[in-house]
Structure 1
């Protein structure tokens, strides 16, 4: 995965992404993982219990979904940026 400097999260998550890929990309965006980190080296932290960092990143995605920032496809466990503006009032 290559995230360009200056990319916004809404660009990174513009298309549907499986929960593990979306969480990984969020982690790269937040600086948790280096930009050149290979997903294959950390994917187990999203698939197995006992990795609080993976759980936290997925929890952030869920909270963003609850707030209307992201859309969540419950059936396929995927996320994407909500193109409709979020009502902040």
Structure 2
């Protein structure tokens, strides 16, 4: 999965984390967001780490983040 293409527009944080997780091989191609949404909606190491990856990509200038209407991310570079 190409994260830059899939996150060209604003994406809710959990969907963005799913895309990053899929690109890293954490989630298989056949797994849908619905099947693994518990990873993002509960307090667990994988979901927490993927959210932190998103935050670090913002700090690195690769993603942009906004808080309204919900926490969302989009690809901006490099």
* TM-score, length of structure 1 as denominator length: 0.79
Cα deviation digits, residues 18-39 of structure 1 (max 9, x gap): 0000000111111111011111
Task: In structure 2, list runs of 5 or more residues that go unmatched.
Answer: none
Counting helix residues as a fraction of each chain, which structure ranks higher? 2
1:28 to 22, 27, 40: 22
Equivalent residue for 1:68? 61
Task: In structure 1, list runs of 5 or more residues that go unmatched.
Answer: none
Partner SS state of residue 79, structure 1: strand
- 2:41 aligned with 1:13: no
- 2:39 aligned with 1:45: yes
Partner SS state of residue 54, structure 1: helix
- 2:64 aligned with 1:59: no
* TM-score, length of structure 2 as denominator length: 0.89
Is 36-45 or 53-62 further displaced after alignment? 36-45
**C-alpha displacement at 1:80, in angstroms?**
0.4
